[in-house]
Amino acid sequence: MTQRAAPSISAERLVPLEWHADSMTGLTLDIRPSNVVSIIGPDYDGKLALLKALGGIQGAESGRLALFGHDGAQMTADDWQQMRTRITYVGSDTALLSVVNAIQNILLPAQYHGLDSADALLNKARNMLAMVGFSNEEALSQLPAMLTPAQRFQAALVRALLLGPQVLLLYYPAFLLDEGATAALKSYLLDRVESTGMALVVATQGRCYTESRSNFILFVSQGNIHTYENATSLRASVEPDVRRFLATLEDT
């Protein structure tokens, strides 16, 4: 996909909920196919609110949001329901259904939308689980309560990816997965961005693993958003919050 493809997400002076709209101008950003956007910073709630505001999952204090050319403020409940298969969100707060096992959870949305046969979806799911570092085959037949937090996150992620979204909003707790699983996840997601044109917006607690590939890096701190075009300009920033945050990461 070329850089001039129509934006998947277009935010204009977007201020997430519970931020103080009068003290900031908001985020203006176009996210296009194959773009990678990293949201970093010390503010957990701020990053999550921004991520959800970009996906239209939570409302915004002010500003305008357009998804695939459709004004978010004009969309009906049916429109939003259809949009959710194109823009999916996965975070540490994403819950699986507690009454069905992991593999049934993973297949359920894709089967609901009639995307493919049960066998085909099962094969795809198994491949994806392997690619994101889910190594315990036996855990697939367990209920979510029996899974580790990392396994639940991986299952929720594959559940969303099976829908073939055009945008993935990912709140990724950096210390949830071990080093090997993190590397596998990063590799798989970036491959998917290149091969399918999926846009990836990832918010993370620690050093963002997509820094090196990001088209935009959004630094969030105390209700402020600083936008950088790459890791180099981020590291060259003179903003005190940014310097403090980067210094903290160096120490860990």
**Binder of other proteins out of 58, 92, 94, 227 (CB under 8 A):** 94
For residue 88, state whether it binds other proteins (rule: CB under 8 A): yes
Q: Which residues contact 123 (CB under 8 A, 6 or more apart)?
A: none
Q: Strands (DSSP E) along 95-222, which ranges?
A: 167-172, 199-204, 216-221
The residue written with tokens 């066998």 in the block is 119
What is the Cα–Cα distance from 211 to 39, expressed in whole angstroms? Answer: 9
Binding residues among 156-185 for other proteins as defined by CB under 8 A: 156, 159-160, 163
Report in angstroms how near the CB of residue 89 gets to other proteins at its nearest.
5
Instruction: Quote the least distance from Cβ 182 to other proteins, whole Å.
Output: 23
What string marks each residue from 40 to 79 as x (binds other proteins by CB under 8 A) or -? -----------------x----------------------
- Is residue 223 within the footprint of other proteins (CB under 8 A)? no
Buried b (16+ CB within 10 A) or exposed e, 174-203: eebbeeebbebbbebbbebbeeeebbbbbb
Q: Residue 248 interacts with other proteins (CB under 8 A)? A: no
Q: Provide the sign of the torsion angle of the four alpha carbons 78, 81, 85, 87, taken in this order.
A: positive
Binding site for other proteins (CB under 8 A): 57, 81-85, 88-89, 93-99, 108-109, 111-114, 156, 159-160, 163
